[in-house]
Amino acid sequence: MPATREAAERAEALRAEIERHNYAYYVLDAPTVPDAEYDRLFRELQALEAQYPELQTSDSPTLRVGGRPLPEFAPVRHAVPMLSIKTETDTGPEGARSFDARVRRVLGLEEGAPPVEYAAELKFDGLAVSLRYEDGVLVRAATRGDGETGEDVTQNVRTIRRIPLRLRGAVPSVLEVRGEVFMSRPDFERYNARQRALGKPTLVNPRNGAAGSIRQLDPKMAAERPLSFYAYGVGETRGWQLPASHGGVLDALEAFGIPVCEHRVVAHGAEELIGFHACILALRDTLPFDIDGVVYKVNALVLQERLGFVSREPRWAVAHKYPAQEEMTQVLGIEVQVGRTGAITPVARLAPVFVGGVTVTNATLHNEDEVRRKDVRIGDTAIVRRAGDVIPEVVAVVKEKRSGSEVPFVMPTTCPVCGSVIQRLPDEAVARCTGGLYCPAQRKQAVLHFASRRALDIEGLGEKLVDQLVERQMVETVADLYDPLRINAEALSGLERMGGKSAQNVVEAVERSKDTTLARLIYALGIRNVGEATAKDLARHFGSIEALMGAGVEELQRVPDVGPVVAESIAGFFAESHNREVIARLQQAGVHGKAEARSAAPRAVLQGLTFVLTGTLPQLTREEAGALIEAAGGKVSGSVSKKTDYVVAGEEAGSKLDKARTLGVPVIDEDGLRQLLES
């Protein structure tokens, strides 16, 4: 049955509206409708096209979800060759001066002639593609290939929502746009985190992620990858009077609705090019995507034509790179470091290599799973990455260079700092030292947590004071806070920024903290996976710290909402004699923790429901929201699982929100939480 006129008009209207929303969201970063409304429009268009297949046009947004897998990529002959540009080997200021001198020499400019006008832009670290628009509609996309012939990747490129399927305004009959497909670092990290949560393969780096996605034979898999695009020039055009300059061309492309990077300038002469190179170098590590340099182009198209080409490279353009952020070197050994929270991090000891502007001898391997996934072995040749102030990391190993003598990494069973047992709980990627109250590597964090407002609330014991107490060995465990020979007004007043009055206030705050509840004391111990809500449950169930310390895993699991993972954390913590000794000293000092009398049951509208809070809520702090949930009988958890009933998400919600969506856990905002509380 052919489509009705009403259906055809509705489909056309939906396509236009959805593309407007895509442009606002993906190009302008200014969403115009909620996700739910966008999804409703998209589903309506899908339903219309399913009912009337003839309504699906080549610029339909529904094509962005990916089509059928391809047997192979068809070759595409470029009407205008996609040539590469020369790279300046000197990454310093002389690289720009050399290019400018060559341009001036070929143009025959005298020494006193005005400076040449250049367009300066970024050199993206992705995959070059060509987009062919006919009468404003995207009809084909191709890779660069050898410059003469590329591969048809139209189906995959259509899945990139930043790339318009139909151009805006009065468009040329033919417009071939040249640009770079890339993956932003935040999108790359989120994608890999989601893949790890699902137990699926991750991507090595953003550049490989972009190139591999575009050259993926299954467009549906390409559609799952978060790709972006920026245009940097044009190829063949028909029915269009080109602007007089390269900068004008980019402005025109932007007006057509094609993404063009904002970091571009018109520069006059070598010194302004040098200034742009230095400016972008300073910005480089704050950019959300990878670049490996900047590009200079003679701005006037008429001068580009005069300059021409040499060895298939344009004389009018050059890439001025920065020091490489990835290099190869040998893994001499793999050790582990203990973080402030007890996290055990494998670290590769490397043959010194100059990367990212510094000499690197160590690189993080993140955790045991990452070592296994990347299969990093002692003796391997590894690719090491360093970007700005980011800790160097091993990206991958070059397995082709293996000799067979490489040694696999074995995670130690005891902490190299304090000798306590290293424990890795189910569903956690990070192994941890269990000597939380004793381990020197964890002292500062342990003391800060113990003294925090929601724990023993020792006013005045902030980070700078704790740093001094630990570094001067006045405090080695939290029990030392209550030793008058170590912590007294005279000793404290000799510390930086501590006068006599401040010192006395801290001593009095330490003394007041002895009068605390059992729940606060349990929370203050810093046991992994034991938050405030769990600490309250444990306090109600056991009634004393002695009873809690004597409980086995099975008995611990009788406490509401304490599962095997939390029970193992608690049992492992109290199994360490060091931790028990610290608790004994706390008790000797008078810190026992009183069991609280159970109050009348609140209005339990959230009884039996588990919530996870993530991001910044508009009005409530996370603590306030948690208190409201618990007062209504609900439970607040620190991690998302299949047992989570709701995730309450605010601004800048991170991996917890991604995991909730992966597991299908309902996500609500602060208003949604208030509605539940009032229900």
CATH number of the domain where residue 362 is located? 2.40.50.140
Final residue belonging to a domain, choices 597, 618, 651:
597
Asked if the structure places residue 358 within a domain, the reply is yes
Report the pLDDT value the prediction gives residue 175, as an integer from 0 to 100.
97
- Buried b / exposed e over 92-125, threshold 16 CB at 10 Å, is ebebbbbbbebbbeeeeeeeeeeebbbbbbbbbb
Asked if the structure places residue 664 within a domain, the reply is yes
- Min mean pLDDT across 35-39, 238-242, 591-595, 633-637 is at 35-39
Residue 69 pLDDT > 70, yes or no?
Answer: no
- Min mean pLDDT across 16-20, 24-28, 33-37 is at 24-28
Asked if the structure places residue 350 within a domain, the reply is yes
The residue with greater pLDDT, 543 or 71, is 543
Locus of tokens 């417009």: 175
Q: Are strands 422-423 and 431-433 parallel, antiparallel or unpaired?
A: antiparallel
> Same domain for 486 and 563?
yes
Specify the number of domains making up the chain: 5
Q: What angle do CA 343, 188, 385 make, to 5 degrees?
A: 65
DSSP category for residue 651:
B
CATH, residue 665: 3.40.50.10190
Structure tokens, 208:
């490989």
Residue 600 pLDDT > 50, yes or no?
Answer: no
> Same domain for 528 and 644?
no
Tens digits of per-residue pLDDT, 285-301? Answer: 888 898 889 999 999 99
Report the pLDDT value the prediction gives residue 389, as an integer from 0 to 100.
55
Report the pLDDT value the prediction gives residue 621, as an integer from 0 to 100.
77
d(CA 186, CA 188): 5
Average pLDDT over residues 447-465: 92
CA atoms within 13 A on the CB side of 249: 24
Residue 367 pLDDT > 50, yes or no?
Answer: yes
Final residue belonging to a domain, choices 408, 434, 453:
408
- Min mean pLDDT across 19-28, 133-142, 404-413, 527-536 is at 19-28
Report the pLDDT value the prediction gives residue 35, as an integer from 0 to 100.
67
Average pLDDT over residues 11-37: 77
> Same domain for 285 and 390?
no
500's enclosing H/E stretch is: helix 500-512
- Min mean pLDDT across 51-55, 74-78, 227-231, 474-478 is at 51-55
Q: What angle do CA 565, 570, 571 make, to 5 degrees?
A: 95
CATH, residue 191: 3.30.470.30
Q: Residue 397, SS3?
A: strand
Report the pLDDT value the prediction gives residue 345, as an integer from 0 to 100.
92
* Dihedral angle of Cα 12, 16, 19, 21, to the nearest 10 degrees: -130
459's enclosing H/E stretch is: none
Report the pLDDT value the prediction gives residue 354, as an integer from 0 to 100.
86
d(CA 576, CA 448): 21
In the chain, the percentage of residues whose pLDDT exceeds 90 is 48
Locus of tokens 């190299």: 416
Residue 513 pLDDT > 80, yes or no?
Answer: yes
One-character DSSP codes across 558-626: TSTT--HHHHHHHHHHHH-HHHHHHHHHHHHTT---BPPPPPPP---TTTT-EEEEESB-SSS-HHHHH
> Same domain for 317 and 338?
no
Report the pLDDT value the prediction gives residue 510, as an integer from 0 to 100.
96
Q: How confident is the model at residue 203 (pLDDT cuts 50, 70, 90)?
A: confident
Q: How confident is the model at residue 545 (pLDDT cuts 50, 70, 90)?
A: very high
Report the pLDDT value the prediction gives residue 627, as an integer from 0 to 100.
79
> Same domain for 147 and 285?
yes
Report the pLDDT value the prediction gives residue 243, as an integer from 0 to 100.
96
Average pLDDT over residues 40-56: 84
Asked if the structure places residue 605 within a domain, the reply is no
Asked if the structure places residue 70 within a domain, the reply is no
Residue 67 pLDDT > 60, yes or no?
Answer: no
Are residues 370 and 319 in contact, defined by beta-carbon separation less than 8 angstroms? no
- Min mean pLDDT across 205-209, 237-241, 409-413, 497-501 is at 205-209
Structure tokens, 37:
């409304």
What is each CA distance from 27 to 60, 73, 162, 228, 255, in whole angstroms? 18, 28, 6, 9, 12
> Same domain for 97 and 231?
yes
d(CA 234, CA 260): 12
87's enclosing H/E stretch is: strand 86-88
Report the pLDDT value the prediction gives residue 388, as an integer from 0 to 100.
59
> Same domain for 264 and 279?
yes
Structure tokens, 482:
């209550």
Active site residues: 123
Strands (E), 365-511: 377-378, 381-385, 393-397, 407-408, 422-423, 431-433
Max CA pair span of the chain:
93
Are residues 22 and 163 in contact, defined by beta-carbon separation less than 8 angstroms? no
> Same domain for 260 and 298?
yes
- Among 123-127, 274-278, 311-315, 674-678, name the most confident range: 274-278
> Same domain for 152 and 246?
yes
- Min mean pLDDT across 447-451, 547-551, 670-674 is at 670-674
Count other Cβ atoms within 10 Å, centred on residue 86.
Answer: 15
> Same domain for 334 and 312?
no
Asked if the structure places residue 146 within a domain, the reply is yes
Q: Is the pTM of this model over 0.75?
A: no
Report the pLDDT value the prediction gives residue 424, as an integer from 0 to 100.
87
> Same domain for 112 and 206?
yes
Reference 165, options 15, 65, 48; nearest CA is 15
Average pLDDT over residues 228-238: 95
d(CA 69, CA 533): 50
Average pLDDT over residues 413-435: 87
The residue with greater pLDDT, 542 or 67, is 542
How confident is the prediction for the chain on average, in pLDDT?
88
Reference 117, options 304, 255, 310; nearest CA is 304
- Min mean pLDDT across 54-58, 91-95, 182-186, 651-655 is at 651-655
Residue 593 pLDDT > 80, yes or no?
Answer: yes
Asked if the structure places residue 304 within a domain, the reply is yes
Report the pLDDT value the prediction gives residue 57, as an integer from 0 to 100.
82
Report the pLDDT value the prediction gives residue 518, as an integer from 0 to 100.
95
Residue 599 pLDDT > 50, yes or no?
Answer: no
DSSP category for residue 635:
E
- Please give the residue range of the domain that contains residue 181: 86-321
Tens digits of per-residue pLDDT, 546-566? Answer: 999 999 999 999 987 788 888
- Min mean pLDDT across 69-73, 419-423, 454-458 is at 69-73
Final residue belonging to a domain, choices 597, 620, 636:
597
Reference 226, options 37, 24, 454, 26; nearest CA is 26
Tens digits of per-residue pLDDT, 132-191? Answer: 999 999 999 999 888 889 899 998 899 898 999 999 999 999 999 999 999 998 888 888
- Min mean pLDDT across 223-237, 288-302, 424-438 is at 424-438
Count other Cβ atoms within 10 Å, centred on residue 619.
Answer: 10
- Min mean pLDDT across 47-56, 532-541, 568-577 is at 47-56
Asked if the structure places residue 63 within a domain, the reply is no
Report the pLDDT value the prediction gives residue 561, as an integer from 0 to 100.
73
In the chain, the percentage of residues whose pLDDT exceeds 70 is 96
Report the pLDDT value the prediction gives residue 28, as an integer from 0 to 100.
67
> Same domain for 206 and 310?
yes
- Buried b / exposed e over 227-261, threshold 16 CB at 10 Å, is bbbbbbbbbebeeeeeeebbbbbbebbeebbbbbb
The residue with greater pLDDT, 655 or 361, is 361
DSSP category for residue 421:
B
CATH, residue 549: 1.10.150.20
- Min mean pLDDT across 208-222, 230-244, 342-356, 547-561 is at 208-222
